[in-house]
A and B are shown apart, each in its own frame.
Chain A
Amino acid sequence: MSTMTALLRYQAALLLRSQRWLPPFILYAAFLGIGVQGGQPVLDSLGYTAAALLPVAAWLVRICTTNEPPAARSCVAAAVGPGRAHLACLLVALTTAAALGTAATLVVTLISDPASADHRTRVSLLAAAAAGLLATLACALLGTAVGALTNWPLLRSPGRAVPAMLLAALLAVVVTGSPAQAAVSGLVTGSQSGTVPVPLLPLAGAALVAAAVTAVTCALTSRRSP
């Protein structure tokens, strides 16, 4: 069995059995419960669904990187290298966020009105779901990057890590130029005219940012104190 598969299984089991995934899942459900109602224009609701996933992904990264006590992390790091151990944490967080976002996107697509914001132009549900999935994935990737940047090995004390993570997640959703903001506003603008966007560029941008942040943080794992 490849080491990476073993690591991913271990990290996923750690997340699942710790039950710490529950609060972010509940928070996401609450976000959606407040912001999304049946019969609303599909692209607006999908934009909201994607945007709300970003802080959830960041929180999942925080959970995955703090799940293992430092001594246990050292045992794994000795076996596979600290960088790969950290990579497995980030991948499990990202996968969990992406799976959660996908499920939410599908539900939201099904309960929403397949029409533009003024309910006059019809919108293809299939194309809307595809656009929603791309935007959701972009937000999961960027949220993972935010989580990786604001937790161990870069920030360790919860007093600094948590506020930094919340602020960075908020900025990543609203600041112009952020791939997540581009993906979400693409959906919202598309809803006004009834045209479904294909947010491939924001997705590529988010993937690039996430890959760069992952590379940097994994390289730093062996340079910071445990």
Chain B
Amino acid sequence: MRRDLQLNNVGRRYGIHGPWILRGVNLELARHTLTRVEGPNGTGKSTLLRLLARIDAPTEGKVTGRPRTAYVPERFPQALPFTAEAYLTHLGTVHGLSRAAAPRAASEWLDRFGAGAYARTPMTRLSKGSSQKVAVAQALLAEPELLVLDEAWTGLDEDARAELERAVAERTAAGGAVVFVDHDPRRLAGAPHRTYTVTDGTLNLRTDKPTSPSGPQVSLDVQGPPGGQLPPEAGQFLTSSTELTPGTHRLTVPASHSDVLLRALLTAHPPWHVVSLNQRADLPLDDESPR
């Protein structure tokens, strides 16, 4: 049995007389949800994530629920006396994998992030980017029920960033909860179910809906059984859905979620038929202007 992680009126300060970093925080991370936390630097976002990962205990209030958790820090140290593979194998078993499964998962995730070539490189000789890939792989090894990402994309190359977005989509599709902080507003744009802002030590749910789905989208024309409903796992990621003709739908999802949508459609009973698939960049990828 597992329970979703929940913060009830939580506050945190360091030291007995230190200033409050966070206060009166209420938050629940339900299964299948993606949560974004934003706010200016130094407002307590990292402290909030440490509370959610249960690395820190609250000074006041209550944290309940103990999902299997993985955490990715912003900067991962290189000063560990292991090869990337050995470190990940150790961490895999710490996350609960068997000693047979851990090395397999380690090499699979290194490959997914394009770091397979560094498997036997000592961590001390990895570049910053490669060592961040190890940090991310560490968290994904054992399919955590709660994934906490503190600027995890920082330092990753373009391919690895996209892979991490897809991994996040997979986790939420598989029933996990994911919470993340990232300075880039386009990160997983359109995908979070909830966005919170940390200001002056308090957490506020952002209610203003973005006017149009931002970030690259993928649109699919799909055909289902006559009168068939979309599989429920597919429904939760959709940006939009229109029925073109009876049984034929045009679905739009954030590009990061196209794989999980396809998987849900193709493995449904009976499976859906994919007629066509188009990438649509609602916003050009090279657009650096703040929105």
Contact = CB atoms under 8 A, between A and B. Distances in A.
Contacts of A226: 50, 55
Interface in A1-56: 1, 3, 6-7, 9-10, 13-14, 17-19
Contact of A69 (B14, B80, B138): B80
Interface stretch (B31-39, B64-72, B229-237): B64-72
A6 B93 contact: yes
Interface residues of B, number: 38
Contact of B77 (A72, A76, A80): A72
A95 interface: no
B145 to A, nearest CB: 11
Nearest to A15: B81
Interface string B132-143: 000100110010
A71 B73 contact: yes
B196 interface: no
B94 A222 contact: no
A158 interface: no
B112 interface: no
Interface residues of A, number: 30
Contact of B79 (A19, A69, A77, A81): A69
Contacts of B59: 223
B94 A71 contact: no
Contacts of B96: 3, 6, 79
A19 B72 CA distance: 27
Nearest to A69: B77
A1 B142 CA distance: 13
A82 interface: yes
A169 to B, nearest CB: 26
A6 B94 contact: yes
B93 A78 contact: no
Given A77-B55, A78-B69, A225-B14, A72 B76 contact: yes
Given A79-B70, A222-B57, A17 B94 contact: no
B53 interface: yes
B200 interface: no
Interface in A53-101: 68-72, 74-82
Contacts of A80: 94
A17 B81 CA distance: 6
B75 A71 contact: yes
B249 interface: no
Contacts of A13: 82, 86, 90
B91 A10 contact: yes
Contacts of B187: none
A78 B94 contact: no
Nearest to B96: A3
A75 B93 contact: no
A75 B91 contact: yes
Interface in B71-108: 71-77, 79-82, 86, 90-91, 93-99
Contacts of A70: 77
A76 B77 CA distance: 13
Contacts of B188: none
B23 interface: no
A10 B54 contact: no
Minimum-distance CB pairs A-B, first 4: A78-B71, A69-B77, A6-B93, A17-B81
Interface of A: 1, 3, 6-7, 9-10, 13-14, 17-19, 68-72, 74-82, 222-226
15 contacts: A6-B90, A9-B93, A10-B94, A13-B82, A69-B77, A74-B50, A74-B53, A74-B73, A75-B138, A76-B91, A76-B94, A77-B53, A79-B71, A82-B55, A222-B57
Given A79-B68, A222-B54, 14 more contacts: A1-B93, A7-B94, A10-B91, A19-B81, A70-B77, A72-B76, A72-B77, A74-B73, A75-B70, A75-B73, A75-B91, A79-B94, A223-B56, A226-B55
